[in-house]
Structure 1
């Protein structure tokens, strides 16, 4: 079993976030605002359910899931997408694949050097955003 990613994590860097938002069609004003926010990520596990909270002074986004079970997700307050999401462990990474309005998007979380890392992924084009 991979290391737990549960805990409270503060953002310390933000690489290519503007490019990711641009690829998702987020408008210029929202991109500019989002680039200046410092996010806090809170990951909790309640039995077999994970709860992930992305918190900022502007907006909060909270979702929950069970590993290896597809669920409907609406990324309200983020990029406003409706998608089907599936989260699973792949090695030491918690990986989410999203299918919907934007094909093959997702993310991966893992812990390295006592820091929670997050990359946004494009499975359709096989790149990290």
Structure 2
């Protein structure tokens, strides 16, 4: 069975428990309040043949770029969120993209999955889970 192609532009429509997630990452109170007001968009380029992916999260505050190959560990700069670096691997778990981040925080990572034109993002750190939902631009 072919894996889904995540290529597209997605706009956030909802989020749940995001401030608690940021607090688990030790993001300061003022920055948490600002970040929770943002409505990010995701611009995803996904080459299904090579496994190369680029995920750009765009906000009015700051943008965040990830450029990686599925299944290969890379060093991720988490500066826009919490100023840390971590070792990151993103790979398939069924039809979902599973990210594992190794660094200062335990159980840190995320899962992306598609349901039609809806992109789901579940974020995890220190036993806290947050969820964001995005709709694909037409």
Both structures adopt the same fold (TM-score exceeding 0.5): yes
Runs of 4+ residues deviating >4 angstroms: none
Matched, 1:109 2:112: yes
Q: 2:65 is paired with a residue of what secondary structure?
A: strand
1:22-71 per-residue CA deviation (whole Å, 9 max, x = no partner) reads: 10000000000011111001110254321010000000000111111111
Q: Which runs of 5+ in 2 are unaligned?
A: 131-138
The more displaced of 44-53 and 101-110 is: 44-53
| Pairs within 5 Å for 1:74-85 | 74-85=77-88
RMSD: 1.5
1:56-89 per-residue CA deviation (whole Å, 9 max, x = no partner) reads: 0000000111111111111121222210000001
Q: 2:15 is paired with a residue of what secondary structure?
A: coil
Query: Whose relative contact order is higher, 1 or 2, with alpha carbons under 8 Å and at least 6 apart?
Result: 2
| Pairs within 5 Å for 1:1-129 | 1-46=2-47, 47-122=50-125, 125=127, 128-129=129-130
